[in-house]
Amino acid sequence: MALRMNLSKKTSRSKTVLILSVSSDIGSYLAHQYLSLGYKVIGTFRSSQSVENLRSKAGCYLFNCDIHDAQSLLSFSRKVKKLGLKWEMFISCVGLPTPLQAFFKSDFDQWQHSVAINSLDQLRALHLLYPLRNSKHIADVVFFAGGGSNEAVVKFSAYTIGKMMLTKMCEFLDAENPDLNIFIVGPGWTKTKIHQTILNDPHISKEKLLATKKFMKQGKGTPLEDIFQCIQWLSAQGKNVAGGRNFSVVYDVWKGPQATTLAKKLKADGHMYKLRRHGNEFMKAKGQ
């Protein structure tokens, strides 16, 4: 209880945000937005070409890191510690959509590799970097969700299962850590280069190939600014509203006149926006 009382939400002073895969389209956009607000940004990348537009930015610290390599992650954490910056926001933009095959037709090692990148590797990173947070304030931790929570997305199980693991871990870590406001955000279809990975996969179905090509050519997708603003809203609402939950940038009423009502509902119902069976009491016998 004392820990909860001593921790405060962040003010508008200069802060540090740590972004895994700052080289991704979403990660790069978020980095630019936070830098424009006066934040310091620490980011990881694998392709140096993808971060050229960030190299000259003051307050931006970039590190080559392979999140699937435990030693690479350990080296990165040591470099962050050496910087002497304490992060107050951790955002993981890591995602690997392949293999695009049915489970029993997939190479299991490739399937397992994808599950790990979409979940366990990101959790390892957070585990390593957690001691380097600013412990004087409640820190924000943000993951990105994928589709499939409410249906089976055919030939997409590794990505979906990995992301669902992150969704449930947000609830666990929220319950275990009063010093974290941890949540996961579903961005919806967004025009990013991750779709090129899908298009290049040799096992992509004709239906998914045509749908992805059409989206990349004609679809508007979720504006990156909406993703940024949704994260900002959830950060500002704090742990009582956002902690341990999963949100949709596209479908949830986090902006506009209904946002205040949503926040009140979330505060009042700890089961909202979490992975749950609902209506279990239907078959429960009286007196049990």
Based on the number of CB atoms within 10 Å of its own CB, is 225 exposed (0-12), middle (13-18) or buried (19 or more)?
exposed
How many CA atoms lie within 13 Å of 204's alpha carbon, on the beta-carbon side?
A: 18
Q: Look at residue 152 in the predicted model and tell me its pLDDT.
A: 76
As a whole number, mean pLDDT of residues 100-128 equals 96
Structure tokens at 275: 């992975």
Residue with tokens 């910056």: 85
**pLDDT 10s digits, 28-63:** 999 999 999 999 999 999 988 889 999 999 999 999
Do residues 92 and 20 lie in contact, with contact meaning Cβ atoms separated by under 8 Å? yes
Confidence category of residue 256, pLDDT binned at 50, 70, 90: very high
Contact status, residue 67 vs residue 126, Cβ threshold 8 Å:
no
Q: In a 3-state reduction of DSSP, which class is residue 90?
A: strand
| 13 vs 79, more confident | 79
Per-residue pLDDT, 62: 98
Q: What is the pLDDT of residues 178-237, one digit of tens each?
A: 999 999 999 987 766 665 666 666 776 777 667 666 666 776 789 999 999 999 999 999
Higher pLDDT, 219 or 108: 108
Q: Is 276 helix (H, G, I), strand (E, B) or coil?
A: coil
Residue whose C-alpha is closest to residue 46's, from 96, 116, 83: 96
- Run of H or E including 69: none
CATH of segment(s) 12-274: 3.40.50.720
Which of 152, 68, 46, 66 minimizes the C-alpha distance to 118?
68
**CB neighbourhood size of 15 (10 A):** 22
Place of tokens 């239907």: 282
CA atoms within 13 A on the CB side of 234: 31
Question: Distance (Å, rounded) from C-alpha 163 to C-alpha 154?
Answer: 15
Distance, CA of 110 to chain centre: 22
**pLDDT at residue 282 above 90?**
no
What distance in Å separates the CA atoms of residue 217 and residue 209, rounded to the nearest whole number? 12
Q: Using CA atoms, how far apart are residues 55 and 79, in angstroms rounded to an integer?
A: 17
The residues spanned by each domain of the chain are 12-274
